[in-house]
């Protein structure tokens, strides 16, 4: 399995997803897959941060600033969550090109 943090570049949401907030949880529907997904409040926050291309380090920094979590624990959970998004086709990596 590819680790989202191994790739250079930024992460962003995949196209073709419909979302709705229901009682603080995010429901997502993949039009292509015909499947829906449910995210808790922390997953919803990560998804919100993925609205614009973002690096894993930026996600970890944002979550450690907003939640009572150690950076190492936040990174581990973020990597696990991003891996799950990638497996489901919900996450895209935009590789940085050398300038």
| For the chain, domain boundaries | 10-87
Residues in the chain: 99
Burial 13-26 (b: 16+ CB within 10 A, else e): beeebeeeeeeeeb
Q: What is the pLDDT of residues 10-65, one digit of tens each?
A: 999 999 899 999 888 899 999 888 999 999 999 999 999 999 999 999 999 999 99
Closest by CA to 91, choosing from 24, 46, 27, is 46
What residues are paired with 38 via a beta bridge?
27
Q: What is the pLDDT of residues 63-91, one digit of tens each?
A: 999 999 999 999 999 999 999 999 999 99
**Top-tier CATH class for 10-87:** alpha beta
Residue 3 confidence class, pLDDT cut points 50, 70, 90: low
What's the predicted TM-score (pTM) here?
0.83
pLDDT of 8 higher than 60: no
């Amino acid at each position: 399995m590819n680790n989202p943090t191994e790739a250079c570049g930024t992460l962003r949401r995949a196209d073709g997803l419909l979302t709705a907030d229901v009682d603080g949880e995010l429901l997502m529907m993949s039009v292509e897959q015909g499947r829906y997904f449910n995210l808790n409040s922390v997953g919803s926050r990560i998804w919100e941060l993925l609205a614009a291309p973002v690096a894993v380090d930026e996600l970890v920094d944002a979550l450690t600033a907003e939640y009572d979590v150690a950076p190492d624990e936040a990174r581990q959970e973020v990597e696990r969550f991003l891996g799950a998004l990638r497996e489901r086709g919900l996450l895209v990596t935009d590789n940085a090109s050398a300038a």
